[in-house]
Amino acid sequence: MSCNTKIIKVDVERIELQSIKRIADVLRKDGVIVYPTETFYGLGANCFSKKAVQKIYRLKKRFPDKPLSIVISDLHMLLTLVTHIPTAFQPLCSAFWPGPVTFVFPASPRLPHELLGAGHSIGVRWPASLWLQRLIKYTCFPLTATSANISGDKEINHPEDAIKIFSGSVELIVDGGQTSGKLPSTVVDLTTPRPTVLREGAIPASEIEKYFP
């Protein structure tokens, strides 16, 4: 089903409250957006909206058994999303957050099961982008953080590519210019007795493992 996609340009180096309000309004109505992160463009929605989360799976043609990660505005938000904070997290958090590292935690029962990975877990990232932090804080809920692409295709770091692929399919595309496009976030599993690097990305595994107990 097609929709009338709006496009809004933002300067990710500035906090423009009016733009944030417009984007938040779409998200609060179960809308799906394409938005810039410090690595690539992502597909974002209220992580508590089953309707929006299911739409993201359809847009990406993603298998339902593949979980989605989320982005948060601060550590206080993290505490509302997990059952507990593993001991190994503190030194890793101090070294790498905010930044391009996704940590996998035991998930709170309040999160929709569509988001969750094996063992009822959730991948969480605290982005370094102040603009994105402000948007999440303004909406008062975490956003999904899956890459804005069709599953199996390359990630997108140009807004023109996002418009080409998702215009008519999402409610809003946030044009924040070209993103770094270097590597996706590194993923670290904290649900196991010893932390495990599940995916090496923007932060090398060798750097992460220095902080393992």
Domain boundaries along the sequence of the chain: 6-208
Give the pLDDT score at 141. 97
Fold of the domain spanning 6-208: DHBP synthase (3.90.870)
pLDDT digits (tens, 9 = 90+) for 140-164: 999 999 999 999 999 999 999 999 9
Work out the angle between the directed axes of helices 130-139 and 17-28 (0-180°, nearest 10).
50
Give the pLDDT score at 1. 60
Strand order across the beta sheet in which 172-175 lies? 6-9, 172-175, 33-36, 41-44, 146-147
pTM: 0.95
Give the pLDDT score at 182. 82
Residue segments in the chain with a per-residue pLDDT below the cut of 70: 1
